Amino acid sequence: MDSKRLDLNLLVTLETLLVEQNVTKAATRLHLSQPAVSAQLNRLRHEFDDPLLIPAQRGMTPTAKALELLDPLRQALDQVRGAVARHRNFDAAKAKLTVAIACTDYLQAAVVKPLILKLRTRAPGVRVALRNLDMAQLDAQMARGDVDLALMTPQAAPPGLRTRHLFDEHYVLIGRRNHPRLRDGITVREFAQLEHVIVSLGDGGFVTPVDDALAALGHRRNVVLSAASFLFVPEIVSHSDFVALVPERLVRDRAAKLKLMDCPFPVEGFAVGMVWHERSHGHSGQRWIREAIVSLVDA
């Protein structure tokens, strides 16, 4: 390979091809036609003296040499992107930027909602694309650039991603405003006798760590609804005699419509943080967004 002749743009194409493993999709991502990317792939094959990607049943399969290239190539390109982005000042008032954020609906309400309101006044050209948090796909989504930032428990982040702690969350017990059995000083027994709503995002199960804590105290609660959405819980609770343990920031601004109480026994909370990929670490706009989120949760 002659580095004096090598078109470095080809390396961006190679990185995209190796991530997508599909010439058509890579072409779409690169804003080129499929034949143009096919031609670039041929030049890359010539430069590296290797097929790099072999046609498969669906898309292309990378050769061993191509797989060997992916990590160092990605690191090198991320360094270049970071170096360029660091020297480009981010003017929030004028910048055009779309940031893709993945999180649960609880964090959409607790973090993204105030972020959006802040952006409208401070950075009107910045748009947010919300994505569902898919832990199995997160690493690949971030590598592809489909997700820029995830809001989640930092301990659950895939290895290799950057994390920053935002806040520690705790649970509160909620019921409708005039719930006849909710009063300060509720006992564990009374708690267990209520009809509970829980959130189970994955399997729709009816057991959470709270049930283990209750069992240790010799009690068992009656879970009548396993919800797939946090936001649905205050809604159903305010129209029934059901109760629920929910993250405090989910209902902080609904105190007028709900009865909020401390849980009658200790329930472990959880940490919330930001997770992002090395590729967006040095990007001045992405950094501005991350700092904006930090200042929001600290406020």
Partner DNA sequence: TGTTACCACCCTAAGTACGT
Partner DNA sequence: ACGTACTTAGGGTGGTAACA
Q: Is 229 in the site for DNA (CB under 7 A)?
A: no
Q: Decide if 111 contacts 103 (C-beta within 8 A).
A: yes
Q: Give the binding range for DNA (CB under 7 A) out of 34-42, 105-113, 191-199, 265-273.
A: 34-42
Relative to beta strand 258-261, strand 195-199 is unpaired
Q: Give the binding range for DNA (CB under 7 A) out of 23-31, 74-82, 133-141, 157-165.
A: 23-31
Phi, psi (degrees; rounded to nearest 5) at 150: -115, 140
CA distance linking residue 70 with residue 148, whole number of Å: 20
List the interface residues with DNA, window 2-21 (CB under 7 A): 7
- Sole residue written with tokens 């329930």: 267
**Least distance (Å) from DNA to the CB of residue 1?**
15
CA distance linking residue 102 with residue 120, whole number of Å: 20
List the one residue from 6, 12, 19, 36 that touches DNA (CB under 7 A).
36
Q: Is 46 in the site for DNA (CB under 7 A)?
A: no
List the one residue from 14, 15, 16, 40 that touches DNA (CB under 7 A).
40
Q: Give the binding range for DNA (CB under 7 A) out of 27-35, 81-89, 111-119, 151-159.
A: 27-35
Nearest to 150 by CA among 295, 282, 296, 280: 280
List the one residue from 6, 12, 19, 32 that touches DNA (CB under 7 A).
32
**Least distance (Å) from DNA to the CB of residue 42?**
6
**Residue numbers of the site for DNA (CB under 7 A)?**
7, 22-25, 31-36, 38-43, 55, 57-60
